[in-house]
Amino acid sequence: MANYWRLTYEKKIYLYDTYTKKTREFIPLSEDEVDIYYCGPTVYNYVHLGNFRPTVTFDLLTRFLTEIGYEVKCVSNYTDIDDKIIKEAQKEHKTEKELSSFYINAYEDCLNKLNILPLYNHPKASEYIDKMADFIQAMIDNNTAYKTKDDIYFRVSKIEDYGVLSNQKIDDLEAGKRIDVNSQKENPLDFALWKLTDDDGIKFDTILGRGRPGWHTECVVMVNNVFHKPLIDIHGGGFDLKFPHHENEIAQSEAINHTHLANYWMHVGFLLTNGIKMSKSLGNSILAKDVLERFSGNAVRLFFLSTHYRAPINYTEENLQQAEKQFSRYYQTINKAVHQLELHELTPQNLRQSDYDEFMDALAHDLNVSNSLAVIDRMTKELNSLLMKKEKDYAQISSLCFTYQKLLNILGFKLDISHLTETDKEMFALYQEARNRKDYETSDKYRSHLIELGII
């Protein structure tokens, strides 16, 4: 069915490309494969909830593209080399690896609760040190990078279109506002590629000398080496990564590979608290692990998906509670439908093509989840209406149930649907028998359990 949708209907997919600042038809580099990379966490602490909004967005994109027939290779990294990691490791009297491994495990626990698909690769920066050193040396060799006493820097002046992604003009970037002034730099906008240091932090012996890489080089090198190509289909992350991180990735890619690194750039809106971007530096962050102790992964996922991925979304406990209630309604509906079918030895089957197409068409327009959820909400009402009728149309229920479950799966919800046991079925038969005898005292003994199962 997945390939059928794409090849038969020949629908076009549109994505908003941050680089060109317009919605473009999505045409992958390969006919049957899509490569996606989004920037992952710096693992020096527990991750705040806002960091998972891009994760959920790109997971949805992966599920959607997979559904329509593409082989999707989705990759996200771990930045496990960073001054923040070094500082925290020293504070906790641990090695950088011990610290980062602990927080990677904590992050992956959240991924599991959010039902994020396994990635094609989840590389760590520490695994690509020699590749980074070779990449930086190539930039030194072609004069787009230079070495000072303490560091190796990239020459921003060598890139004519630097700033296009983030809509920045070099002349407007004043020294000291967006980047620290450093007397060793040729230009205050030049950024560090490699830190030559003898400090107490983790260091590596490479062709560049003893030190560690800069953040901006890590991702571009991992993209090139994980996918084994200089240009991929989609690169993205949060809006805050456009400048300087993604801008600097593009600059390095242009310097070595003469490409923009990705054909499409996608950026996800901020999670806000009281109208202000959630950030550890601002002290207004809410840890994802804490939220996922109070709310289900499905509720958090629905909360994120309820607003278009490029728009900001405001965190409140009330919004999460509403998402929990809404998903509970979806779950109860599908559970009741499955149980009704099981009572008659039936299973969900036969796709309702019109609902499926409307749902997929919405996602095909820059992941318009609001319109897709409108399809889900309409089907919820219809399915509940069918289930309430005394004379039930089980063919319609079966088709609706099959389609409903499929669409919820595409949105990435985890559906732990219960199934009736033989005891449940026998209890229902006894309930009906008692009702037919008008023995309501006996039937009431079974009633609460059957209501809980959604059978009556």
pLDDT per position as a tens digit, 337-385: 999 999 989 999 999 999 999 999 999 999 999 999 999 999 999 999 9
pLDDT digits (tens, 9 = 90+) for 152-177: 999 999 999 999 999 987 776 644 44
pTM summary value: 0.93
* Predicted local confidence at residue 10, as pLDDT: 65
Whether residue 34 is predicted with pLDDT greater than 60 in this model: the reply is yes
Of 192 and 445, the one with more pLDDT: 192
pLDDT digits (tens, 9 = 90+) for 195-211: 998 898 999 999 999 99
* Predicted local confidence at residue 175, as pLDDT: 47
* Predicted local confidence at residue 452, as pLDDT: 79
Rounded distance between C-alpha atoms, residue 403 and residue 14, angstroms: 24
Contact 337/401 with Cβ under 8 angstroms? yes
* Predicted local confidence at residue 172, as pLDDT: 67
At 227, list the tokens: 């996918």
Rounded to an integer, the average pLDDT of 113-134 is 98
Of 283 and 222, the one with more pLDDT: 222
Rounded distance between C-alpha atoms, residue 107 and residue 103, angstroms: 6
* Predicted local confidence at residue 176, as pLDDT: 44
Rounded to an integer, the average pLDDT of 58-64 is 98
CA separation, residue 288 to residues 123, 162, 291, 310, 377 (Å): 22, 35, 5, 20, 27
At 198, list the tokens: 């003898």
pLDDT digits (tens, 9 = 90+) for 225-278: 999 999 999 999 999 999 999 999 999 999 999 999 999 999 999 999 988 888
The whole-chain average pLDDT of the chain stands at: 92
* Predicted local confidence at residue 180, as pLDDT: 54
Which residues are CB-neighbours of 69 under 8 A, at least 6 positions away? Answer: 2, 3, 5, 6, 7, 32
**Position 454 confidence tier, pLDDT thresholds 50, 70, 90:** confident
